[in-house]
Chain A
Amino acid sequence: MSAVALVGAGERPYTRHPADALSTPQVLLSAVRRALADAGLRNQDVDGLGVSSFTLEPDHAIDLAWRLGLRLKWLMQDTNGGASAISMLQHAVRAIEAGDATVVVLVAGDRMDARAFSKLVAQYNAATASHLTPLPMAGPNALFALLTQRQMKSWELSREDYGQLVVTQRAWARRNPGAVYRTPLTMTDYLAAPMVAEPLGRYDCVPPVTGADAVVVTADDTGRGNPRARIRAVTTRYNTDDQVGDGIRTGLADSAAELWHGAGVGPSDADVISVYDDYPAMAISQLVDLGIVSPGEIRHYLAEQVATGRAAINTSGGQLSAGQAGSAGGMHGLVEVVQQLRRRAGDRQVSGRIGLVSGYGMVLYRYGSCANAAVLEAAS
């Protein structure tokens, strides 16, 4: 258990159609300002900054620090997409424990319009540019369609099972004014949606949006007296299987025991959960790898716990309904759990003390290669 806490969080509202003048630095700025205001802190208090963005080029973290007018003792940039939030959080915890920084802002986001998205996915890495884009393949939907088929076969799941998660997340999104998609969605709508890549339909694929998310991290003592989310444990894994596995098993399976041991609590103690939902199959894989549900119980769990709202999972609506703001994908779930634990989740507030957040990302050739998780605890 660390002596470090999350004391503020903010999200620059997501949009499918960014104004021409809206730049990536501006959406990042907006999230930073919201998180600092939420923490009751000012720019002058910040001495550490972590940034993750696919579209900040040619600028880097130092350019953002300069343009924000921050004078820093600690600065990092993370390139791990959907795993960047918890990756940066792991570094920030150590920096604060070591005394290298006292108030760290972590921000992730992108101006992700159609052009930026096409460019990103075509040249995601050298292997993609060489071996996938020429197929042709535009983006990862087909890869996750193949992975979802493997999962359906291994764990005997049907499209209706995935639909339970997607439809329930839309119901949560209806209580989140920040979600991009809030219209009601039924199982019939889900099953009738146009196919993107069998077995994935339109509602199985995250919609790219423009936006950003940020959190403020300090020593737990600094935040005493204010609502905060104490960081009990953070674990990360990179490249656990060299892309030659089935992809259903993520790096979380390797780190879960370490995570729960470090946190001093177990999977059944998690009251509010955000798992990285680029596709429903990956959300389910993460719930399994983290010990929340076993493969044989998934169908029952989705119907009895998730669909009924008894299990509070992806309570913002998740990326599937709120949108995927590029590199902010992982930070979105962290912001949601932090706000739930700080009792600032508005109409969708749930009760409970222990939060679980996972990140996942960076498709190298067949599936994501980075997976990480954090266990948080409400304190005030």
Chain B
Amino acid sequence: MSLEVQRCNDCSRRWFPIRLCCPGCGASAFRTEVVGRGRVEEVTTLPDGRVLASVMAEGEIPLVARLIGTVQSGDEVAITTDPTASGPSAYVPHGSLEEEKA
């Protein structure tokens, strides 16, 4: 499952997590797009073996992800919202609009 992000209808910039207004231009009308891949930047391993990372999606959207499979800094990987996906990939919990409204 691919990650859905916002694209501003006015200035075309993309955002995640979702915003109410576009920080770039102030408009509040967005469409939803999916992002497929991202470049892994910094990587950190936790004591239980989980690997968390900064991932830059399509050169524009910085994400916080858990890496699945053998992935190194600098790699291009698939971004998934499925925590059980096979590697190499970067898991980004999608959450829901309702949760963020809550």
A residues whose Cβ falls under 8 Å from a Cβ of B: 126-127, 129-137, 142-143, 145-146, 149-150, 194-200, 242-244, 365-366
| A146-B52, A149-B42, A198-B44 known; A365+B17 contact, CB < 8 A | yes
Question: A199 vs B43: C-alpha distance in the bound complex, in angstroms?
Answer: 10
1/0 contact trace for B64-88 toward A, CB 8 Å?
A: 1110000000000000000100000
Closest to A135 in B: B66
| A146-B52, A146-B53 known; A135+B64 contact, CB < 8 A | yes
Chain A residues near B26: list those with CB within 8 A: none
When the two chains form their complex, are residues A197 and B52 in contact, meaning their CB atoms are under 8 A apart?
yes
Question: A132 vs B102: C-alpha distance in the bound complex, in angstroms?
Answer: 16
Closest to A147 in B: B42
The yes or no answer to B91 lying at the interface (CB within 8 A) is yes
When the two chains form their complex, are residues A126 and B99 in contact, meaning their CB atoms are under 8 A apart?
yes
Chain A residues near B91: list those with CB within 8 A: 135
Chain A residues near B102: list those with CB within 8 A: 126
When the two chains form their complex, are residues B42 and A150 in contact, meaning their CB atoms are under 8 A apart?
yes
| A135-B64, A197-B52, A244-B62 known; A145+B44 contact, CB < 8 A | yes
Chain A residues near B43: list those with CB within 8 A: 146
Question: A200 vs B46: C-alpha distance in the bound complex, in angstroms?
Answer: 10
A132 to chain B, nearest CB (A): 6
| Subset of 18 A-B contacts with CB under 8 Å | A126-B101, A129-B95, A130-B100, A131-B17, A132-B93, A133-B93, A134-B93, A137-B52, A137-B64, A146-B53, A146-B64, A149-B42, A197-B46, A197-B52, A198-B44, A199-B44, A244-B23, A366-B54
Closest to B99 in A: A130
When the two chains form their complex, are residues A135 and B62 in contact, meaning their CB atoms are under 8 A apart?
no
Task: Tally inter-chain residue pairs, CB-CB below 8 A.
Answer: 80
The yes or no answer to B92 lying at the interface (CB within 8 A) is yes
When the two chains form their complex, are residues A146 and B93 in contact, meaning their CB atoms are under 8 A apart?
no
Chain A residues near B50: list those with CB within 8 A: 135-136
Question: A242 vs B64: C-alpha distance in the bound complex, in angstroms?
Answer: 15
Known: A130-B96, A131-B64; 7 extra A-B contacts, CB below 8 A, are A143-B64, A146-B52, A149-B44, A150-B42, A198-B44, A199-B44, A243-B62
Chain A residues near B47: list those with CB within 8 A: 194-196
Closest to B100 in A: A126
Question: A221 vs B24: C-alpha distance in the bound complex, in angstroms?
Answer: 46
When the two chains form their complex, are residues A365 and B42 in contact, meaning their CB atoms are under 8 A apart?
no
Closest to A200 in B: B44
Question: A129 vs B43: C-alpha distance in the bound complex, in angstroms?
Answer: 21
The yes or no answer to B28 lying at the interface (CB within 8 A) is no
Closest to A138 in B: B46
The yes or no answer to B12 lying at the interface (CB within 8 A) is no
Question: A197 vs B102: C-alpha distance in the bound complex, in angstroms?
Answer: 31
When the two chains form their complex, are residues B42 and A242 in contact, meaning their CB atoms are under 8 A apart?
no
The yes or no answer to B9 lying at the interface (CB within 8 A) is no
Chain B residues near A137: list those with CB within 8 A: 52, 64
The yes or no answer to B45 lying at the interface (CB within 8 A) is yes
Task: Give the most central of B17, B53, B62, B91: most A CB within 10 Å.
Answer: B17
Chain A residues near B96: list those with CB within 8 A: 130
When the two chains form their complex, are residues B44 and A135 in contact, meaning their CB atoms are under 8 A apart?
no
When the two chains form their complex, are residues A242 and B100 in contact, meaning their CB atoms are under 8 A apart?
no
Question: A256 vs B32: C-alpha distance in the bound complex, in angstroms?
Answer: 38
| A126-B102, A244-B62 known; A131+B92 contact, CB < 8 A | yes
Task: Give the 9 A-B CB pairs with smallest separation, nearest first.
Answer: A130-B95, A134-B93, A145-B44, A242-B23, A149-B42, A126-B100, A146-B42, A197-B44, A127-B17
